[in-house]
Structure 1
Amino acid sequence: MSVAATPASVHVRAPGKINVYLGVGDRQDDGYHPLATVFQAVSLYEDVIARRAADFSITVTGDVDPDTVPLDDRNLAMRAAKLLAAAADYHGGVALEIRKSVPVAGGMGGGSADAAAALVACDALWGTGFSQVRLHELAARLGADVPFALHGGTAVGTGRGDQLNPALARGRFDWILITSDEGLSTPAVYSRLDEIRGIDGALADDPPPSLDVPVAVLHALRAGNAEDLAETLANDLEDAAFDLRPELEQRLLHGVRAGALRGIVSGSGPTIALLCADPESAQHVQAVLRETGVDSLHVHGPVPGARILA
């Protein structure tokens, strides 16, 4: 495709995610932990608008402290754009406008959604014509959650979470999210998990924890049954997140008392995800929380991954 045939700007929307199940293996020599997780993309989105430019730049808008979002190569969206340019041998740049709705450092993959959206937007803006498979390969080089933000829906992730297999999920699952004004460092949560396991007596040569996603999780998703899914929610990072931020456990318990089926820390936290029986139940939980001064968001899943908007 010639440059003349490409659009002047491209608007892409990508979803945040909840890990409805997250099993974490022991830390490996490379510093990473093997994972077995089930992602669900939910209706809380990041919007990325890519415009033609001679160089690379980023602006960020939305309900976010600008100091918490880097505007240089530390930003995953910037790295995604430059990675695609290098892979396509493209010598121009792009001006990226990121409109954030997913909490920063909230355990919902907002930065990964930005990166996935940037890949799709720049591919269309520059007319590189990369296949979905090739975009997935580039996404995997950027971070464990980026490939899932590209595809969306519900999926089992293994390895570092970037090896995806779609999981059938019927119907709709309704979640109430209790967000936090203060983010939580993912490396800090993993480090605390290692410390907790060490205190509990785990040895370096012990066999790693089982990383099989329980069949009950997949059955509940396939059946579209929120009550069954609630019984299977699990996150190996939860105790570490609670240890670093004790108030998170109280928020989770508060949400359950308000009528949620069950709650879970989303990813590495600090966002609390409360699974509800149906949309009406979610609205009730949100109203109860509001009466006690707790702000929350009502989202649902699964939803598609990064998509170009007209």
Structure 2
Amino acid sequence: MTSAAAPKVVHARAPGKINVFLKVGSLLEDGYHDVATAYQAVSIYEEVRASAADDFSVNFGGSIDTSNLTTDGSNLAIKAATLLARRAGFRQGVHLEIEKHVPIAGGMGGGSADAAATLLACDALWGTDLSREELLDLATQLGSDVPFAFTGGTAIGTGRGDQLSPALAKGQFQWVLAFADFGMSTPTVYRELDLHRDRHSQDIFPAAVQPQVDANVLQALRAGDPQMLAEVLHNDLQAPALHLEPKLAAVIELGEENGALAGLISGSGPTVAFLAADLDGALELQIALSAARLTVVRATGPVHGARIVGD
């Protein structure tokens, strides 16, 4: 271990994500579902600064309200730091300063990005010298979206979403993201999906145990064609999210009326992701949605995963 030579503060950054495609398998005996998803990392980042300390602590700031976030051992960033410390045999702690820009409980993996950036920052701060594969293994233990926040880019996720295969995506896709002023619980949305499937069991095909990503999604990403991708955007969690929060349907409709190629709920919601044809289209959509008093951010994808940055 080379902690004596480690820098005093390490700054790491990790992106939020959009699920451009998400199929959810049938309910398993353990209460979980397997999924098949196409992730794209987008240019909204969580910033983590790690400094040496005797114990483990975290403070939050940034462009979104963080007043309700926990700062004890239940916080995912603290879990990431303590997991790494145990793995590396490190006997001191860390203080984390996190700037949050990804919405909390917004379906974009903000907490997962915090955890991924924390792993990278603490590894550098403590000089633990773990391999990328070892860090990725720790990411998998922390949650289904943490490995993708660590790797970034565009990827196919299977199992619980943590079994990743890189996917080729040509060029850049232009996104406009509408943030809600409330969060949604992922377990609640999944429970609503199960209820939705029970209610409509006579009208819909039973869910596969092990779903797959539509080949047309991979083709659209490889082609770098937003029109093609817009036609195959899909999220099994959208119907239950809209059932729980019907007002999100009006947001999707407003975006599509103002030039979006398509809009969909990101992950378990409530963030709505709109795909634009090009930069001009994204700018026009951003202006129109802002005029409707929605909180919107323009982003591009794919972008890199967690990495160390210089201040």
TM-score tier (shorter): over 0.9
Gapped runs of 5+ residues in structure 2?
none
- Report the Cα distance in structure 1 between the residues aligned to 2:261 and 2:162, rounded to whole angstroms: 29
Partner of 1:282 in structure 2?
282
Pair 1:120-2:123 in alignment: no
Moved over 2 A (4+): 63-68, 206-210, 290-295
Letter paired with 2:254: H
Partner of 2:193 in structure 1?
193
Deviations, residues 148-185 of structure 1 (Å, cap 9, x unaligned) = 00000000000000000000000000000000110011
Judge conservation of contact 2:41–2:153 (CA < 8 Å) in 1. Answer: yes
Partner of 1:136 in structure 2?
136
More divergent stretch after superposition (286-295 vs 233-242): 286-295
Partner of 2:70 in structure 1?
70
- Report the Cα distance in structure 2 between the residues aligned to 1:2 and 1:171, rounded to whole angstroms: 40
Give the total of aligned pairs: 307
- Report the Cα distance in structure 2 between the residues aligned to 1:308 and 1:84, rounded to whole angstroms: 17
Partner of 2:255 in structure 1?
255
Alignment of 1:121-200 (within 5 A): 121-200=121-200
Identity rate of aligned residues, in percent?
53
TM-score for both structures, normalised by structure 2: 0.96
More divergent stretch after superposition (150-159 vs 62-71): 62-71
Judge conservation of contact 1:68–1:104 (CA < 8 Å) in 2. Answer: no
Pair 1:237-2:212 in alignment: no
Q: CA RMSD in A?
A: 1.2
Letter paired with 1:141: Q
Judge conservation of contact 1:107–1:266 (CA < 8 Å) in 2. Answer: yes
Partner of 1:272 in structure 2?
272
- Report the Cα distance in structure 1 between the residues aligned to 2:180 and 2:200, rounded to whole angstroms: 29
Gapped runs of 5+ residues in structure 1?
none
Aligned-residue offset at 1:28 = 1.1
Aligned-residue offset at 1:208 = 2.6
Deviations, residues 23-68 of structure 1 (Å, cap 9, x unaligned) = 0011211121100000000000000000000100000011333332
Aligned-residue offset at 1:258 = 0.7
Is the alpha carbon distance of 1:185 and 1:90 closer, same or farther for their aligned partners in structure 2, counting shifts above 3 Å?
Answer: same
TM-score for both structures, normalised by structure 1: 0.97
- Report the Cα distance in structure 2 between the residues aligned to 1:3 and 1:138, rounded to whole angstroms: 20
Deviations, residues 180-215 of structure 1 (Å, cap 9, x unaligned) = 11001101100000001111127xxx6736611111
Letter paired with 1:213: V
Letter paired with 2:88: A
- Report the Cα distance in structure 2 between the residues aligned to 1:53 and 1:59, rounded to whole angstroms: 13
